Structure 1
Amino acid sequence: MTTTVRLDNVEHAALKLRRGHGPHFGEAVNQVAIFASEFQDVQREYPILFARVSDDQVQPVAILGFDREENLFLDGGRWDAAYIPALYRRGPFQVGFSDGEAVVNIDLAHPRIAAEGEDGDPVFKPHGGDAPALNAALSALRTLSAGAAAAETLSSLFTELGLIEEVKLEVRISEHSTIDFDGYLAVTAEKIAALDGEALARLNAAGLLDVAIFAASSLGTMQRLIARKQRKLAAAA
């Protein structure tokens, strides 16, 4: 039986969302898919790399950790960053379609759904209207929708213009410990600088020139991510 239904302000008037962050919300991952519409925010906090889906398709991802199921931004029920990727901000909500119209659906089996009587953030205000928790999720859904519309163009144009290249990183955690971090692609400042005027114009016309620049700029956050890993290891020693 499906647990995803159309959100209804009468039927779901008492619905609440659990607060906080952690593995129980599916957030113990070392990467998360992101979209062009959020690159400007993502690049300030996370390295942006690309995972190859097929020969001509790539998926941008924000790197959260180096080991499997390692999210270095999770800290005692908090997500320690100024920006959380949209896929995790949307909570149990999804965009659906009914008679050709976009609607908001909700997965009632999602771990964010609070049990009856449990404390949480209300989805709707007591006397009607969207509560802040729902408004935040709707903002994330708008980000995802805008990004999904540009995803195919980003993938094909970045690939065609040779903007993305394989990266192999040897991450030095300590004097005697390194992690081989490979299997990803990246946009670098050198690749952007090597583009001719026509290629730059095509990127700009597609609204993706700044996106490429954000991706290249994000690589500077890798050292901060390494520092998080070092602090985690030091705390466990």
Structure 2
Amino acid sequence: MTDTTSTPTTPHVTPLSLQQHGQLRWRSPADYGFAGHDNLCPLVLQELPKAVMALPIGFIAQQDQFLLVAIQGLQAGSNLYVAPDGRWLAGYIPAPYRSHPFRLARTESGQQVLCIHSDSGLVSASEGQPFFDDQGQLAPATAQVLQFFQQLEGNRQHTSAACTLLQQHGLIQPWPVRLQTDAGAQELGGLLRIDEAALNQLSGATLEALQRSGALQLAYCQLLSMQHLASLGQLAALHAKARQAPTPAPARDLDLEFLNQGGTLQLGAL
């Protein structure tokens, strides 16, 4: 069985500081190759209206709670939505990827700290946006990234509370997934989904409580997103064919008409 719950190795991150980064600049990535090993990506409630139109969504158990995730690959270390040339092959790009090479981390005291992926190749002394302005304050582009993270973090707490409420009402169950690919049947382990039968049996009062918290929207979005699971098998077959070709074909030559193409590098709204 393939365990989908493995997480990729965390790149080295450095807290952003005027002393260390005052004379340096950063630039956005040219593609999404940096996400090529992420078979899962955390999502938040505010993303769901767009994510549900493009990606299969599920839950994984993390310590004593459940985490909402986009399912991006059939095995750990493989993101099928990243093309060989680094393009993103779905109609929605999860929020964490739109903030690369930045990351928001927490200190032991719980303080939030803006960090930079120091091994990303996107930091230099001459190219891109400055981290700080001449007064030693965050430059406008960097401040926009921090604001984006603050918005994301606030919604992450809302999402966690909604997942907890679904769990308390017994609405999350194991999700045995078996996909047929050119390499044979592929099983995804460790995934969870909404128990639709249990959801349909809830009382009006419980449904109203779920609706007020955003948990009901989350539940229906997860169920709706399951239609995209088949695209993973199709993408796996296309990636396999590209690898087997004598001269690997560029991603633009792959027949991806079954996908809803799109995406943007802009931070903007989640």
TM-score bracket, shorter-length normalisation: 0.7 to 0.9
Q: Deviations over 1:110-143 (max 9, x none)?
A: 51632234x5x42579999624x864x3464144
| Residue number in structure 2 paired with 1:179 | 186
Residue 17 of structure 1 pairs with residue 27 of structure 2:
yes
| Residue number in structure 2 paired with 1:44 | 53
Change (3 A) 1:81 1:139: farther
Helix, strand or coil at the partner of 1:156: helix
| Residue number in structure 1 paired with 2:231 | 224
Change (3 A) 1:224 1:143: farther
Change (3 A) 1:123 1:94: farther
Provide the rounded CA distance (Å) in 2 between the counterparts of 1:96 and 1:13.
Answer: 24
In the TM superposition, what is the alpha-carbon distance from 1:148 to its structure 2 partner? 2.1
Residue 193 of structure 1 pairs with residue 200 of structure 2:
yes
In the TM superposition, what is the alpha-carbon distance from 1:13 to its structure 2 partner? 6.8
Which structure dedicates a bigger proportion of its chain to strand? 1
Provide the rounded CA distance (Å) in 1 between the counterparts of 2:77 and 2:105.
Answer: 27
Helix, strand or coil at the partner of 2:61: strand
Residue 210 of structure 1 pairs with residue 220 of structure 2:
no
Provide the rounded CA distance (Å) in 1 between the counterparts of 2:80 and 2:130.
Answer: 29
Q: Deviations over 1:51-87 (max 9, x none)?
A: 1123x41111111100221111111022222322122
In the TM superposition, what is the alpha-carbon distance from 1:18 to its structure 2 partner? 4.3
Matched-pair contact (CA < 8 Å) for 2:39–2:76: yes
| Residue number in structure 1 paired with 2:243 | 236
| Residue number in structure 2 paired with 1:83 | 92
RMSD: 3.3
Provide the rounded CA distance (Å) in 1 between the counterparts of 2:195 and 2:96.
Answer: 25
Change (3 A) 1:93 1:156: closer
In the TM superposition, what is the alpha-carbon distance from 1:203 to its structure 2 partner? 0.5
| Residue number in structure 2 paired with 1:5 | 16
Matched-pair contact (CA < 8 Å) for 1:123–1:134: no
1:109 to 118, 121, 125: 118
Helix, strand or coil at the partner of 2:80: coil
**TM-score (norm. length: structure 2):** 0.70
Helix, strand or coil at the partner of 2:93: coil
Q: Amino acid of the residue matched to residue 179 of structure 1?
A: Q
Unaligned runs of 5+ in 1: none
Helix, strand or coil at the partner of 1:68: coil
User: Which deviates the most, 160-169 or 145-154?
Assistant: 145-154
Helix, strand or coil at the partner of 1:21: coil
Q: Deviations over 1:85-118 (max 9, x none)?
A: 1222222142779xx9x8762326251632234x
| Residue number in structure 2 paired with 1:156 | 164
In the TM superposition, what is the alpha-carbon distance from 1:236 to its structure 2 partner? 2.8
Matched-pair contact (CA < 8 Å) for 1:50–1:61: yes
Change (3 A) 1:218 1:134: farther
Number of residue equivalences: 226
Residue 59 of structure 1 pairs with residue 67 of structure 2:
yes
Q: Deviations over 1:170-221 (max 9, x none)?
A: 11113x7110112211125444323221221110121222122111111111
Provide the rounded CA distance (Å) in 1 between the counterparts of 2:157 and 2:208.
Answer: 20
Over 6 Å off, 4+ runs: 124-128
Q: Amino acid of the residue matched to residue 199 of structure 1?
A: T
| Residue number in structure 2 paired with 1:130 | 140
